Structure 1
């Protein structure tokens, strides 16, 4: 599957557990909604993904990507050390200046 460069980088940094490179996919003021919590700004996002990587060791296998204007939805099979693995999740991306400005993860 051909993904836009930013989305491919987002997936690659997740799958290699590179929290520093992962945070660079986001704007300075980006907001992430996941597991009922909100994480704002690059440093909070880095801390969140580092903790999630340590706990879940999750990897993404992209299944579909749709983009309309400044919004994208990545559907991916996510597997890791969490109950119910693997599961299919949707990553709702708000895009701004070739970076992710918002991310909401849904089941």
Structure 2
């Protein structure tokens, strides 16, 4: 498979589409249910490992800012590796940003997620 092959949003695996919906809806419980028990999330240079740490990160992130999310691109870069670029607009410094959400899946769960510009 070519590196970073563009795909349609409806071609994304169920775990990713469910995460994107829960993230857009600010539903941290639904988001957390999609992660493997030993998953990692890297956001703003910090690594959060395991569901307890990910839950704490989600709790902090959900109250820090108010924002809207618009998915703008989806790519597949490996057997279970996907990137979704989302446009965020809100009350955080700068007001708008395009972020890449890099997902690695395993057993229909999110095993690793990196969020970066």
Answer yes or no: is 1:103 the counterpart of 2:110.
Answer: no
1:27-74 Cα distance to aligned partner (Å, 9 max, x none): 000001111111011121111011101002233211111122121101
Structure 1: gaps spanning 5 or more residues? none
TM-score, scaled to structure 2:
0.83
After superposing on structure 2, the runs of 4+ consecutive aligned residues of structure 1 that deviate more than 4 Å are: none
Structure 2: gaps spanning 5 or more residues? 1-8
Answer yes or no: is 1:81 the counterpart of 2:96.
Answer: no
Answer yes or no: is 1:8 the counterpart of 2:17.
Answer: yes
Is the 8 Å Cα contact of residues 27 and 42 (structure 1) preserved in structure 2?
A: yes
Larger of the two Rg values belongs to structure: 2
TM-score, scaled to structure 1:
0.90
**Local SS of the residue matching 1:82:** coil
Aligned residue pairs, count? 107
CA RMSD of the aligned region, Å?
1.3
